[in-house]
Structure 1
Amino acid sequence: MPTIYDVARRARVSPSTVSRVLNGKQTVDETLAARVREAARELDYRPNALARSLRRSRTNLWAVLVSDINNPFFTALVRGVEDVARSSQYSVVLCNSDEDPDKEASYVAAILAEQMAGVIISPTGGGGPVQRLIDASVPIVAIDRQVPGATVDLVTVDNEHAATVATTHLIDEGFRHIACIAGPRDLSTARQRLDGYRRALRAAGRPIDSRLIQYADFRESGGYAAMAALLDQSPRPDAVFTTNNLMTIGALECLAERGVRVPDDVAVFGFDDVPCATLIQPPLSTVTQPTYEIGRTAAELLLARIAEPTRPPSVKVLPTEIHVRASSRRRVTKATRPA
């Protein structure tokens, strides 16, 4: 592994000059600084040991690395992070991994190179990039998802309980063939919500039909494709629980294109609010996460981790809210109304 002295020799400067450049000091001639940065890139130098010994020399930047910037879930969450950060004289840099492990790894390399003070991350399926942050002693807080193979501070919600309540509502409404559009198998959030769906069915004495479970990618296109697959099979579901907001939108688009009425033909219950959920016709039933509070709590945990790096990791599980609206209610017609 290259050292600071290797970088100094490659850049033809002193080790102290390398130290000043990599710690963001502005007292180095820009020509020399450019040589140092180029040498560090060529050698793939990561100043882990330097970061540990000069912890107080980190920048005042936090990285918030989200998995999908197109997801409205992250909007209020990032605002919660930013409000806490600014009150503590930190600035926030927003990064979007786009559910791509390679892109996530690229951002992690930039975070290390820029000596950022801490990271709040919604990780992709792999834990390798996050492990690099851990190895470099960078303070980390995970949001929404657990980090595979690592134990770090985590802020999440009661995913399994919320999914159980949502599915139980559909059971209580009298729907018989309740489907689930689940997320990626390797993400903790997706597994927990699917577990909640299954738990509700078992509690009601219902069989778990694997044909009624479709796995998708937490994207609109995935929700659309999963809903299409469910509609093409027999028996067709009469209700569906979708486990994130973008997949709910995709499922609704598919139902509309197929001429399937909600909730008359297929009832819908989503996880996460979607924009204008109450203005959609019929209004959409959803599990709502406290997104601003998730961000605020994650930022407070990051401050605590920066102040006390060796304290045991903690997990904060925040409550959700269940909003039952017309999209998941069985309509009473003359044919079904009791005499």
Structure 2
Amino acid sequence: MATIYDVARRAEVSPATVSRVVNGRANVDPALAERVRAAMVDLNYRPNAVARNLRRSRTSMWAVIISDIGNPFFTSLVRGVEDVAQTAGYSVVLCNSDNDEAKEGQYVNAALTEQMAGVIISPTAGSPHVARLLDAGVPVVVIDRQMAGADVDTVLVDNEQGARDATGHLAAAGYRRIACITGPRGLFTAERRLAGYRAALDDAGLAHDPALVRHADFGVDGGHAAMHSLLAVDPRPDAVFVGNNLMTIGAVGRIFDEGVTVPEEMGVVGFDDVPWATLMRPALTTVAQPTYSVGRNAAELLTDRITDPKRPVSTVTLPTELRVRGSSGAKP
């Protein structure tokens, strides 16, 4: 089993420098710290957790609290978090809140009780629990959603621009009654994607028709029910922008159930790229999010916050990419 002295020899630094890196001290040159972390990985070095916790009064664990473990969006994101955490000497505990504030609170209680070194969280709408963590001095990074009034490190994607690109693409393809299925009212991602949809209608000189907007639960059943409702509107929409991957599954399923052809009778663009998007016939046009990069950026911000608790708060906003496929082909 590798020791701190083996790591020091491999990294060509002193054992004291290795100790400072392991314990998250700020007074280490970044280049030296990176050499130490690389040596730790090469040697499969694991610090003595008991001794480390006694010195730091915190464990070497991170809690990653996400809103829906069944959503593929979070799969790649958590992998990005874990890759950085392992290199930095931390382990990850994955928690699923189901977008339930009470359940989220239970996980936050556990993070506080177990004195976890940090928390990465996709919070529920209006969550009070991020403030609880900050008040307790726990390093926190918020992902996917922005907390109004909270002074906290945050990693987002450009939800509004992604939705604007998607809806604008449908308008440019000749569709004129473009519907939108977005997430729950008041949820940051849902509201930003709705704002992008509306901005694209303005760009194209198309009217805003409230009858063509539906709020759903970001789940398959919600997308199915919302699309069922939209297909009953007279006149029916000729295209739809769907605000996440699971709702897109439900919406497309309902479109096919009704015998509506895509894209001839209904253009479709979804938000979040998924492997099955290219397997559909026609293949599904999507807005791709850099999910792995979201996770990596969040983990890097958390390690920075642990190392330097007083550094300025950062917000990172990553771009999306519109991937055009057959489901949004030019309207006949």
Q: Please state which band the TM-score falls in when normalised by the shorter chain.
A: 0.7 to 0.9
Distance in 1, Cα, partners of 2:281 & 2:196 = 27
What is the count of residue pairs matched by the alignment? 284
Deviation of the 1:56 alpha carbon: 2.1
Distance in 1, Cα, partners of 2:79 & 2:323 = 23
Distance in 1, Cα, partners of 2:331 & 2:128 = 49
The answer on whether the counterparts of 2:63 and 2:93 sit within 8 Å (CA) in structure 1 is yes
Distance in 1, Cα, partners of 2:92 & 2:124 = 20
| Residue aligning to 1:135 | 135
Q: TM-score, normalised by structure 1?
A: 0.81
Residue segments in structure 2 that go unaligned for 5+ positions in a row: 1-48
Deviation of the 1:126 alpha carbon: 2.4
**Matched-pair identity in %:** 60
Distance in 1, Cα, partners of 2:275 & 2:70 = 12
The aligned runs of 1:132-281 (5 Å cut-off) are 132-281=132-281
Deviation of the 1:331 alpha carbon: 5.2
Deviation of the 1:26 alpha carbon: 6.5
The aligned runs of 1:49-64 (5 Å cut-off) are 56-64=56-64
Residue segments in structure 1 that go unaligned for 5+ positions in a row: 1-24, 28-50, 333-339
Q: Which amino acid aligns with 1:326?
A: G
In the TM superposition, structure 1's runs of 4+ consecutive aligned residues that sit over 2 Å from their partners are none
| Residue aligning to 1:37 | none
The answer on whether the counterparts of 2:175 and 2:331 sit within 8 Å (CA) in structure 1 is no
Q: TM-score, normalised by structure 2?
A: 0.82
Q: Which amino acid aligns with 2:189?
A: T
Q: Which amino acid aligns with 1:222?
A: G
| Residue aligning to 1:15 | none
Greater shift in the superposed pair: 76-85 or 308-317: 308-317
Task: Kindly provide the CA deviation profile for residues 4-52 of structure 1, in whole angstroms up to 9, marking residues without a partner as x.
Answer: xxxxxxxxxxxxxxxxxxxxx969xxxxxxxxxxxxxxxxxxxxxxx9x
The answer on whether the counterparts of 1:127 and 1:149 sit within 8 Å (CA) in structure 2 is no
Distance in 2, Cα, partners of 1:132 & 1:55 = 24
Secondary structure at 1:94 match in 2: strand
Deviation of the 1:180 alpha carbon: 0.4
Deviation of the 1:190 alpha carbon: 1.0
| Residue aligning to 1:100 | 100
Task: Kindly provide the CA deviation profile for residues 208-238 of structure 1, in whole angstroms up to 9, marking residues without a partner as x.
Answer: 1111110111111111111111001111100
Distance in 2, Cα, partners of 1:245 & 1:165 = 16
Deviation of the 1:259 alpha carbon: 1.4
Secondary structure at 1:180 match in 2: strand
Distance in 1, Cα, partners of 2:82 & 2:70 = 18
Deviation of the 1:151 alpha carbon: 2.5
Distance in 2, Cα, partners of 1:181 & 1:216 = 7
Distance in 1, Cα, partners of 2:331 & 2:197 = 23
| Residue aligning to 1:85 | 85
Secondary structure at 2:304 match in 1: helix
Taking only aligned residues, the RMSD between alpha carbons, in angstroms, comes to 1.8
